[in-house]
Amino acid sequence: MPNASTVELHIHAMLAEQERTIISERTKAALKSLEARAAAGDTEALEKINNRSQALAKVRSMLNRTKGHDTQRQQADERAASVKDTIRLCIHDGASSLQAVADCLVARKIPTARGGQWSPTAVMRVMQRLGLELAKAASGPTSL
């Protein structure tokens, strides 16, 4: 429909909306009928309702899990951003290892996200999240 006029596009949109409404009404009527049959004791209808309920619960739990992971990721990003300047300052002040950065953060009384003390692993994970690296020591050939 690359050459459709705005009137034609509006007509198609109206028809699509009407079709959605009809499908919705038909689905709701079918579910009411199924529930009525289940209430009357139809075992097949009971089984269908049970299967539908289980499928909906599964989808909802997956959606909630995804939302939870997104929230945790966002909170971790915010926490990492809050200590970014301090980590940079520790590195600037001469911290050349993850342990040295962890010690620097502990000395500045900056707790981890859970209120604990910094470990090299925790520092490494925050630095990876922030895209920070420690300055590599110059290692050249040693002469004897």
Q: pLDDT per residue over 5-25, tens digit each?
A: 999 999 999 999 999 999 999
Report whether pLDDT(87) > 70. Answer: yes
CA distances, 134 to each of 8, 19, 61, 94, 118 (Å) = 62, 60, 41, 10, 16
pLDDT for 144: 46
Q: What is the pTM for the complete model shown?
A: 0.52
How many angstroms separate the CA atoms of 94 and 15, rounded?
Answer: 69
128: Cα within 13 Å, side-chain hemisphere: 7
How many angstroms separate the CA atoms of 29 and 81, rounded?
Answer: 52
Q: What are φ and ψ of residue 96, in 5° steps?
A: -110, 5
Nearest of 33, 113, 119, 17 to residue 74 by alpha carbon: 113
Angle ∠(25,39,60) on CA atoms, nearest 5 = 60
pLDDT band at 136 (very low <50, low <70, confident <90, very high): low
pLDDT for 61: 85
Six token digits for residue 6:
């705005």
| Average pLDDT estimate for 46-58 | 90
